[in-house]
Structure 1
């Protein structure tokens, strides 16, 4: 249907749906693997309701869900502080963003996001196009920034309140009509988006001024006429900021879009696709409801096995009103006496945010017995009341922070008192910044991780619901959500007591429940030797951070931009004409329509899909898709690293302080975030160059120590491959040996391409690589790749035997183990369908990758003692590599000691049949050292 008169376009604000779903619903995780899916579930329900409720005369003929693209937009180029003070998305929400896009496509609805533009700009452009085409447009959102678009056939709908927002609704909100909304916003500013506006002028005053003077420009030109001195001075002094603010709030209604309104025509969901997605998410109720509505059979969703729990937490009811508000030294000292009487205490901190290196300590909670908990508020602010510009005076009933820490410090540092926390590394870093070294510790998150890796996540809310049958007070209920969210120091103290003390209470109960099970589940050694002692090591590394040179990143960013331009020209030549390289639809049209390549699939909107796996397959046959992949890789490097890393440089230390996540991967591998330093590419020259920006301080050197082929060595040991074990003992080139064995060619004078193929197979086998995957890696035909893999297994039959044996063990026991006793649960190992292959590959790889992860953990735990008397700091861990910063005078000794620790890390717990070897490098930057 061509869009025109009689058509009705619905534009759904996807981000608003996501955040509404996340904040309105309790946390939910997928039973099979612990993936957070609460926001996805809410999003799907809202989307389904939107589809089902819109019947009859007012039904849409065209519909799209519009999302914000991650990263900077053109507004950041106008004003670099735009949205600078917005907190990062919650950790459990981040993995759900791409799933909501998948959900939209599963419902067969157009899913739109465009780099460098916000969803609001796309909505503005489409609304204008609909208006000009003679149709209607309803924007499904309550976002005030979109109210400037209302009028002329465009209205808004707040689905939560079931309230339509027309011209009168806008006037009720802003005091002006839609055409003057941007003028009011430019004056009032927006603290959430960091839009400056005119200080001291709010929405009401701004509307009053605009109504009196007609528009913003007239107001600014006649500002000297204003009688009120403060208003006059604010307008005159901040004229440039006000005009800048108008640029920031005005939406771009004239974007160049590579699709038309016609492509947004309403389509019925394809039952097979929608059922597959809902089943994959394990939404049992929603799947059944929609299946019944569509008249199809709901797919069977198997229940994930749940480990049998031993013991029961103390059944003392939670009573938030019973927690104590500690107001003075006398009260706190009574708690200290109780703690010494028990010998343990659960501790939790409340802070002004999530960045441990920047936030302020707001309060501390303690718990000594289930139900007996307190909160010590420290810097809660007095309520501002009606005066938004009230001072930052402290609320009454709080101890001075120095006095509270003076009382607590001896106990927190006392080796006879066990301090129990949930994710204790965070709290330990907060205390360390205030001069308190917390030890010894226990961590309930890590206890759960040691017992249940692969079964569920290990956040406090999830553990409380699962093991205590208790839903904790939601932090969102105190801080609010979205643009109106506050920091914890603004929470009234009485409310903070209930929330914060409950956290400590829950932590203690979880400890009493989980601690005995470490022994009963035979994972005490894992917790005591691999998890608990790693906490202070990681905390110290994170606080050291690593210096990053901003100028180097800027130069790289420019170089990547130039190289992208060169690839763009090359692609134009291969295609025979210009096109938008960043448009998957246009790339697909060239590949499948113009070049006639096979293997393409279309999206629900009828456009060609060009994900990486499709391009990797095609790259084995044609040069064009390979160049597109190269372009996208550079684009990712630029946006994710050379641009984004600069934002993570600490304002005071000048260093980047990543946060390591011990419980992030079921195999024991560490993850890192804010920023993620584990995913810096190493296979391409451009990816390796990113490391040039990580530099040593003057007079110091970076040294890198990297395990050589550790996972292949572990495979040779576990699978008892004599030829590989002998080769490692003799220090042979393992990839050349594999090539010689497989292809019957001599090692001397071997063709580098033959060795490269053997190397790809060696590493690919560890991850259960298929013929398809190897073909993509080597860009060779699939048949040839599969022949390589078949020949590999013929030459090394022990590897196939290991794989089969491991899968059988996983099917029988529901888990696999590392050589050090770490259990990695495999809940989907007996599943049918597409998940079966993935679960099988994961089970095969987990003992190998997990053992390697355990080895480097053991090395990290031993390292501080080994280098204690040297001027050296351990800074980073990236999979099999450790990076140190050392005074120039001590480089050789530091390398010798660190290598000795790493090469002997498996002993005495495990004696490997092959030696572990460590390659060492040094340099002024990480690239030189690696």
Structure 2
């Protein structure tokens, strides 16, 4: 279907925004698939949002509007129902019918419906998951972004909405401040406004555009999903269901411990700020923490411009500042950089984690929640936000003896323990399997440290860390210049190091060439699980990363599904965070015998991945446990 045909279909669609006899006739018994969307007061669960229509606060996103799209004879029907109207009630009724329902971000919309008592029946499908499988190289899978390349003629609807939204939000933010409108603790004036403030006709048009685009996306890729990616899609959809349960479970947060940590960290942050501000003001009276001012201060204190360059740009990002310290800078510049990095680390921990999570825990009986995207990246690895609990930073870049204050506040529920099942050296094991390097595979099967084994094979027994860096540099497609900077070598030394590595492990080069050949032949590479990665041939080095990280992500998801099935069947506990290659399971405290049985069963679920076992690889799983806090987990032997 061409863009012009899509536009004609949109313009000829029957729009229903008011209840009348025509609406009653068309909505009585819709046939076929139904694309659905909710318009809500917010995006975060367990977080207050204001419902304008009834002038009340909601603890979770409230669906103040519902939109639908379905076929009727040779035309589409677009429906918008706002809360309190007959059409809204009809939309709810239609959601309860057995028709196939299509959503874009099914996890969110179905959770909104569940939380607000809206029954949804029939098979459910998710075009967001489909899009990420079929159009894997796209960065942005929002409906508006997808409409730009599917049908640019109708993609301007969000731009128009954004202009209205900007004006309305600004107006209400000023009103909140001027009239001193009450806000829940931790919320600012800008948080008051949401889509329920938009006029009926504006939000209705926007929402109907959403479901129309969703319908077109489904038409375009549903057949390809069914014929080429059915097993992969079914697995990803099941993962969405598991992740939804994990989100709803949440994690227990030690409020008192968090407040103690905040009291310790705030003075440290203030001291770091005072230190580098004092040094910064030697270069400029109006010094602030903004990057241009920081760069000017660094230059004044003796840091060379080349030391601050990343490619062609000058930056004060953390890895560049680390590099400056390694290369050597004047004493005052060193003090400035260390204080700056400390300040940033403390500020991030306090403002991203400690304070928001403590506030959220106080609202929710000591439980905190995050939002998990099970297939966020191009390789299909998960991500989380609000906040990101998959990459919790260390408290500071230099004081390794300090425990992690964020992890120290995550504690088991009363009478429970948490088990952490970690896949050991998964990326290297999967890489060895894909590259047919049986010597590395055998070392893995024997329980050896792969990086040390490879260092010994080269004759660099005391250079494990360098070999580890090369291994991950190869996996991530890192260039030789970047590796030279990481190793603090000259470019000549780095090239020689890489030559010896490649000479010893010829399978690496062979695998890289194989990936390039497959890209030239097919336009993509495909992992053991049926997921394809479309990489430009001139960026073939990225294919190795896609296959290995993507394969690991798929293997972990397979394991997670098997663990979830076991946990549900035996009612032994609840899954917590899925962290890349680590599965967290909270259970009531167990006897030694029951603990051993539980761990053996979970290990079996995570290690026995058919697509790997059938090729001779059984993953190694390490187990840790805590009855106190995440920071205090300890390894246990099974």
- TM-score when scaled to structure 2? 0.78
The aligned residue for residue 659 of structure 1 is 371
Mapped partners of 2:479, 2:501: distance in 1: 12
The aligned residue for residue 56 of structure 1 is none
1:542 aligned counterpart, secondary structure? helix
The aligned residue for residue 706 of structure 1 is 422
The aligned residue for residue 500 of structure 1 is 207
The aligned residue for residue 511 of structure 2 is 802
Alignment RMSD: 4.0
Q: Equivalent of 2:343, from 635, 651, 657?
A: 635
2:391 aligned counterpart, secondary structure? coil
Mapped partners of 1:781, 1:560: distance in 2: 39
Mapped partners of 2:431, 2:152: distance in 1: 42
Task: Say if 1:350 and 1:332 are closer, same or farther in 2 by CA, change over 3 A.
Answer: farther
Q: Equivalent of 2:141, from 458, 464, 469?
A: 458
Structure 1 position 738 matched with structure 2 position 454: yes
Mapped partners of 2:79, 2:40: distance in 1: 16
* C-alpha deviation, 1:553, in angstroms: 3.6
Paired residues, what number? 573
CA radius of gyration, larger in: 1
Which structure 2 residue ranges, 5 or more long, are not aligned? 47-59, 173-192
Q: Equivalent of 1:884, from 567, 581, 585?
A: 585
The aligned residue for residue 622 of structure 1 is 328
Structure 1 position 364 matched with structure 2 position 66: yes
2:9 aligned counterpart, secondary structure? coil
Residues 620, 776 of structure 1: 8 Å contact kept? no
2:326 aligned counterpart, secondary structure? coil
Residues 80, 87 of structure 2: 8 Å contact kept? no
Task: Say if 1:320 and 1:314 are closer, same or farther in 2 by CA, change over 3 A.
Answer: closer
Residues 257, 409 of structure 2: 8 Å contact kept? yes
Residues 771, 783 of structure 1: 8 Å contact kept? no
Task: Say if 1:327 and 1:910 are closer, same or farther in 2 by CA, change over 3 A.
Answer: farther
* C-alpha deviation, 1:795, in angstroms: 1.5
Task: Say if 1:820 and 1:688 are closer, same or farther in 2 by CA, change over 3 A.
Answer: farther
Residues 545, 658 of structure 1: 8 Å contact kept? yes
The aligned residue for residue 543 of structure 1 is 248
* C-alpha deviation, 1:867, in angstroms: 0.5
1:668 aligned counterpart, secondary structure? coil
Task: Say if 1:524 and 1:478 are closer, same or farther in 2 by CA, change over 3 A.
Answer: farther
The aligned residue for residue 620 of structure 2 is 917
Mapped partners of 1:687, 1:438: distance in 2: 48
Task: Say if 1:877 and 1:408 are closer, same or farther in 2 by CA, change over 3 A.
Answer: same
Structure 1 position 678 matched with structure 2 position 384: no
The aligned residue for residue 352 of structure 2 is 644
Aligned residue runs from structure 1 range 34-53, under 5 A: none
Residues 422, 583 of structure 2: 8 Å contact kept? yes
Residues 803, 844 of structure 1: 8 Å contact kept? yes
1:538 aligned counterpart, secondary structure? helix
Mapped partners of 1:314, 1:352: distance in 2: 30
Task: Say if 1:805 and 1:312 are closer, same or farther in 2 by CA, change over 3 A.
Answer: farther
Q: Equivalent of 1:484, from 161, 171, 187?
A: 171
* C-alpha deviation, 1:338, in angstroms: 2.1
* C-alpha deviation, 1:351, in angstroms: 0.9
* C-alpha deviation, 1:477, in angstroms: 5.9
* C-alpha deviation, 1:673, in angstroms: 1.6
1:348 aligned counterpart, secondary structure? strand
The one-character-per-residue Cα deviations of 1:455-476 (angstroms, maximum 9, x if unpaired) are: 4532212223322454253343
Residues 430, 551 of structure 2: 8 Å contact kept? yes
* C-alpha deviation, 1:431, in angstroms: 0.9
The aligned residue for residue 419 of structure 1 is 101
- TM-score when scaled to structure 1? 0.55
The one-character-per-residue Cα deviations of 1:28-56 (angstroms, maximum 9, x if unpaired) are: xxxxxxxxxxxxxxxxxxxxxxxxxxxxx
The aligned residue for residue 857 of structure 1 is 557
Mapped partners of 1:330, 1:902: distance in 2: 55
Which structure 1 residue ranges, 5 or more long, are not aligned? 1-308, 380-396, 746-750, 831-838
Mapped partners of 2:351, 2:575: distance in 1: 26
Residues 13, 76 of structure 2: 8 Å contact kept? no
* C-alpha deviation, 1:420, in angstroms: 0.7
1:860 aligned counterpart, secondary structure? helix
The aligned residue for residue 895 of structure 1 is 599
Higher relative contact order structure (alpha carbons within 8 Å, sequence separation ≥ 6): 2
Mapped partners of 1:654, 1:759: distance in 2: 40
Task: Say if 1:468 and 1:593 are closer, same or farther in 2 by CA, change over 3 A.
Answer: closer
Mapped partners of 2:4, 2:229: distance in 1: 19
Task: Say if 1:599 and 1:506 are closer, same or farther in 2 by CA, change over 3 A.
Answer: closer
